[in-house]
Amino acid sequence: MVTATDECLFCAITERSAHVVMSDETAVAFLDIRPVFKGHVLVVPRLHVETLTDLPADLVGPFFTRVRRAAGAVQEGLGAAGTFVAMNNRISQSVPHLHVHVVPRNRKDGLRGFFWPRTKYASAEEAEDYAARIRAALDRAA
């Protein structure tokens, strides 16, 4: 098992990420730098694996428990009506490290099908504000 690699962007982020919202021995969740909507979080396992089928069976439950917590915190912390939770395995996977997208959703927000338009944060401060709101929701749920 490989816990991190020097070549993997997400492994590097788990070690020194900006805008981390959750971090423990199993997973790290952080803001996507090209969010579909502001507050879009990526949840990655600390163990370096490329796809869901590479994740050891004994880590599937603990990892998805973190995804579930992140989904609840994104919804509550941002006042979203719901979330979109998605994962790609190799095809359309921009970084070869397992990651789950947790995207805040609201009715009539414009997201349709599998076309994921991307946006940007106006500043690092704006991104940190979103991260802080999600972290606060995680703290309240703990």
Q: Which residues are catalytic?
A: 99
Contact status, residue 18 vs residue 125, Cβ threshold 8 Å: no
Cβ neighbourhood burial of 124 (10 Å; 0-12, 13-18, 19+): exposed
3-class DSSP state for residue 45?
Answer: strand
Residue type, 82: G
